[in-house]
Structure 1
């Protein structure tokens, strides 16, 4: 997101610390711990030919079996990690995070906003234990997954899981955004950024698992928060990515996130489309960006 880059240019060089992975922490959880579902490997068509230029071309991908958290990592789960390791997030170090302010109709620098204070000073994550953790950078997310003996999912794994076994559909539940008037994910209802009608019951974040699971049993792989994945971003990556277990380009300046969020509407990003992808500098935190962990099955 370019606004993040512009904001960070106002900060002294070197403040965007990327050493979160160096904590060397050993965690209590192991791959396959409760909360993860096994996704059987297989082939699927990734991307699309009728989306944005960097969302295609559609191409065949083959994946091995993998494990994935059933829902987004919650504030309560992240608090356990932070308490056990003393981890300090990028936003806590910097003293601010990216916040979308509906009153202003745009993104702002949220002074004092971090995962412990999701809405800024005076707010507390303890009031939102079962909500997805936000204001965490890619490094903060990767550190948590490493502590659990896991990792972030690849972009291909995320899309495969999000599709839930559904082929040739725009959304995980079919081609209608609200089939029969039923809301399937936490999205923005109304004209963005003027008004979020909250017809799905929420104007902003929702507790994890509020909406129906997809065909694989996963919750909120569409909507609620964008989710960091392992891959670096390259607009043309799908033109040369390997067919088997792609893991993204070797390097880059931004990391991919997937799934869309509560800020996605029909007149804005439409990030709830299965092929939708977004990119953000890996040292950035936002109030609509979280994550979940993946792992390789034990042999």
Structure 2
């Protein structure tokens, strides 16, 4: 783990997506954070020690999903499949497919495995929020808040678009594992990776942290809120002071308004993934954020942990 000294920074962005605004001053206390995302090797130790069974390995209960299609009550998870041609980017179902038998040991489906794909030192994927939380508890740690993650991801570069500055690929250098080319059908592989990459494949940020940007999205502990709170104005004072250690939204406000029948909370994902591209989801940035239902696992979501130091 790396120690991140507490401090204030400008959180959010007003240059990319509306859910990242407004810009706001935030202060976080010092904390320890994993140098890399949790790898398959590390997650395997946890499973061996605890016998933990991930969400993707458990058949969904039809009582929890009243609109479930017949035959879907089997263990599985979401797998990205590259398309063969341009498709409607407003329809994620064009590239996301629910695969029976997909889980952390078999990330692309039952015919795949960590040995064959040589994934032991890649970030673990196909983990739902409760799986990440269970690992963190076992390790004596916690999942980061959105503010902690963004502060750490910036690596001391307050206000920059990217974790390494204001240019995506300085002098043509790939600084993180994201999609080069036209998503979701043409990946030029300028960074050398079709899917995830081993941790530490790219240079660390200013705090010595690896893969804070791209490779995999990472779970945070904060419930999703569409419009983050700006600096609260106190009586007789302007809204100029930093918010200390914000903890995000509330469960009741995190539900997806486009699916009113689904009452499953959404947490904030941070960091972007190897599927973020210039023509789709430019979220390979510290300020980027995305909502994800806590029961969801995919081939592009992982996590890392923090350890906070209690006052006194």
Tell me the TM-score range normalised by the shorter chain. 0.7 to 0.9
Q: Give the deviation of 1:110 after TM superposition.
A: 1.6
* Superposition map of 1:58-207 within 5 A: 58-94=23-59, 95-103=75-83, 106-126=95-115, 127-207=118-198
In the alignment, is the contact (CA less than 8 A) between 1:56 and 1:238 conserved in 2?
no
Bigger mean CA offset, 45-54 vs 72-81: 45-54
- Answer with 46-55 or 238-247: which moved more: 238-247
User: Stretches of 4+ moved more than 4 A in 1?
Assistant: none
TM-score (norm 2): 0.82
Provide, for residues 74-111 of structure 1, a one-character-per-residue CA deviation record: whole Å limited to 9, x for no partner.
00100000111110000011311111110365111122
Asked whether the equivalents of residues 276 and 282 of structure 2 are also in contact (C-alpha less than 8 Å), the reply is yes
What SS is found at the alignment partner of 2:290?
A: strand
Between the aligned partners of 1:52 and 1:183, the Cα distance in structure 2 is 23
Please name the residue that 2:290 is paired with: 278
> In structure 1, what is the Cα distance between the partners aligned to 2:36 and 2:151?
15
Q: Residue 79 of structure 2 contacts residue 107 of structure 2 at CA under 8 Å; is this kept in 1?
A: no
Tell whether the 8 Å contact from 2:22 to 2:228 is kept in structure 1 after alignment.
no
**Over residues 225-263 of structure 1, what are the superposed CA-to-partner deviations in whole Å (9 max), with x where a residue is unaligned?**
000001000102334788100111232320110000000
Q: Where does the alignment leave 5 or more consecutive residues of structure 1 unmatched?
A: 1-35
Shift of 1:181: 1.0
Which position in structure 1 is the counterpart of 2:224?
233
Deviations 1:158-198 (A, max 9, x none): 00000000022110111111101111000000001121111
Give the 3-state SS of the residue equivalent to 1:118 in structure 2.
coil
Once the two structures are TM-superposed, the CA of residue 297 in structure 1 deviates from its matched residue by 2.7
Q: What is the number of equivalent residue pairs in this alignment?
A: 264
Question: Looking at CA atoms only, which structure, 1 or 2, has the larger radius of gyration?
Answer: 2
How many angstroms apart in 2 are the aligned matches of 1:103 and 1:83?
A: 36
Q: Is the 8 A contact 2:129 2:295 kept in 1?
A: yes
Q: Does 1:290 align with 2:279?
A: no
**C-alpha separation between the residues in 1 aligned to 2:159 and 2:119?**
36
Per the normalisation by structure 1, the TM-score is 0.85
What secondary structure sits across from 1:238 in the alignment? coil
Secondary structure at the residue paired with 1:202? Answer: coil
Structure-2 change in CA distance of 1:213 and 1:109 (3 Å): same
Does the Cα contact within 8 Å between 2:268 and 2:290 map onto a contact in 1?
yes
Q: Counterparts of 2:301 and 2:190 in 1: how far apart (Å)?
A: 22
Taking only aligned residues, the RMSD between alpha carbons, in angstroms, comes to 1.4
Q: Measure, in 2, the Cα distance between the counterparts of 1:80 and 1:135.
A: 16
